Amino acid sequence: MSAITAEMVKQLRDRTGAGMMDCKAALNEAGGDMEKAIEILRKKGLASAAKRAGRATNNGIIGHYIHMGGKVGVLVEVNCETDFVARTDDFQQLAKEVAMHVAAADPKFVRREEIPADVLEKEREIYRAQFAGSGKPANVIDKIVDGKLESFYAQACLVDQPSVRDPNVTIQQMIAAATAKTGENVTISRFVRFKLGETGEA
């Protein structure tokens, strides 16, 4: 087991937004393995976020971003529990970063629960058709289809997408880190993305 240095703790804190003691404990638990320590913190961060998930998020801000030249514009509602947190620089930076991400990544939904059942079934049918006549057992095909659906979620759902700024972190993990850092339930309610010349028709 490698010695846990202050630099390692700082690096882990910078990457996760977790507290110093939590970072040190995670590194000890992971035997100095940075990626494993991040996984431990994310699990704990998501768990602590889940504990707060029932608390009302009636405050927050509308983050906005206009892409250079005014061709793409985004509004995103990021919520928290108190006006105090909503007014902090960190929270406002988070909202701006999410808006910039939406402009670049063009998600269609906030989270997978919002995807209509018929859209999901259509995706499943397409994936199954790709393996028709392959001779693979049905249970194997089902597992492959589930794997392809995960890729679909990562393309279509904002919280499942890897951040355009740091592809190693999903938007959900960014929100979980903000929840852990602020001690408040942080959520993304909705967004709208406008592209010049596009209409609302599919």
Are the CB atoms for 160 and 113 separated by under 8 Å?
A: no
Q: How far is CA 26 from the centre of its chain?
A: 21
In this structure, the answer to whether residues 91 and 12 fall within a common structural domain is no
Q: Cβ contacts of residue 24 below 8 Å, gap of 6+? A: 4, 9
Q: Is residue 124 part of a domain?
A: yes
pLDDT tier, 157 (very low <50, low <70, confident <90, very high otherwise)? very high
Q: Is residue 202 part of a domain?
A: no
Q: What's the confidence (pLDDT) of residue 177?
A: 92
Mean pLDDT of the chain: 86
Alpha-carbon gap, residue 170 to 164, rounded angstroms: 9
Mean local confidence (pLDDT), 58-73: 91
In this structure, the answer to whether residues 186 and 89 fall within a common structural domain is yes
Q: Is residue 126 part of a domain?
A: yes
Q: Is residue 201 part of a domain?
A: no
In this structure, the answer to whether residues 74 and 20 fall within a common structural domain is no
In this structure, the answer to whether residues 72 and 99 fall within a common structural domain is yes
pLDDT digit string, tens, across residues 125-152: 998 888 877 788 888 888 888 899 999 9
Instruction: Give the closest residue to 52 by CA, choosing from 187, 171, 172.
Output: 187
| pLDDT surpassing 50 at residue 202 | no
In this structure, the answer to whether residues 74 and 105 fall within a common structural domain is yes
Instruction: Spell 136-153 as b/e; 16+ CB within 10 A means b.
Output: eeeeebeeebeebbeebb
Mean local confidence (pLDDT), 56-76: 89
Alpha-carbon gap, residue 127 to 161, rounded angstroms: 20
pLDDT digit string, tens, across residues 70-97: 999 999 999 999 999 999 999 999 999 9
Weakest mean pLDDT among 29-33, 38-42, 172-176: 38-42
The share of the chain scoring above pLDDT 90, in percent, equals 50
Longest pairwise C-alpha distance within the chain: 59
Number of structural domains (the chain) is 3
Q: Cβ contacts of residue 102 below 8 Å, gap of 6+? A: 65, 74, 76, 158, 191, 193
Instruction: Spell 119-129 as b/e; 16+ CB within 10 A means b.
Output: eeeebbeebee
Alpha-carbon gap, residue 130 to 125, rounded angstroms: 9
Are the CB atoms for 158 and 97 separated by under 8 Å?
A: no
Structural domain boundaries, residue 164: 59-111+157-195
CATH number (domain holding residue 136): 1.10.286
Q: Is residue 200 part of a domain?
A: no
In this structure, the answer to whether residues 86 and 149 fall within a common structural domain is no
In this structure, the answer to whether residues 40 and 71 fall within a common structural domain is no
